[in-house]
Amino acid sequence: MPISKSVLSEITHDDIKHNDLRMIADELGLEVALSFYEKFAGINILVPFNALREFQIEYIKKNYNKLHTKELALRLGISDRMVQEVLFEHRKERQIALPMDGD
């Protein structure tokens, strides 16, 4: 049974002792932490490092002709090598997608 909203409204930052919920409160604020608790209490949530990988790939493809590899890597929090690998695959895809002469 969840904690009632009236009781939740009395909780302060110092009342949160659980490390994970405390980290959410520290980083995002008490209101977000309590909302998170209301919606997801009892559910194990893992946010993998590569949760935004598809976005990163599309960002690289969209911006590779505007930004240097190092700048893309810094903006996306990935290595230069990862940017280069994405660009290599993107170039291969584009070559395959191009029509052959006479088609």
Number of structural domains in the chain: 2
- For residues 59 and 84, membership in a common domain is answered with yes
Q: Is residue 33 part of a domain?
A: yes
- CB of 34 within 8 A of CB of 8? yes
28 CB-side CA count, 13 A: 12
Q: Is residue 45 part of a domain?
A: no
For residue 21, give its domain range.
5-40
What confidence score (pLDDT) does residue 4 get?
85
Say yes or no to pLDDT of 101 above 90. no
Say yes or no to pLDDT of 2 above 80. no
CATH code where residue 59 lies: 1.10.10
Q: Is residue 46 part of a domain?
A: no
Q: Is the pLDDT higher at 94 or at 39? A: 39
Per-residue pLDDT band for 92 (boundaries 50, 70, 90) equals confident
Per-residue pLDDT band for 98 (boundaries 50, 70, 90) equals very low
Calculate ∠ Cα 33-39-41, nearest 5°.
80
Q: pLDDT tens for residues 27-70?
A: 999 999 999 999 998 899 998 888 999 999 999 999 999 999 99
- For residues 65 and 93, membership in a common domain is answered with yes
What confidence score (pLDDT) does residue 102 get?
47
Residues 6+ apart with CB under 8 A from 72: 59, 60, 63, 64, 83
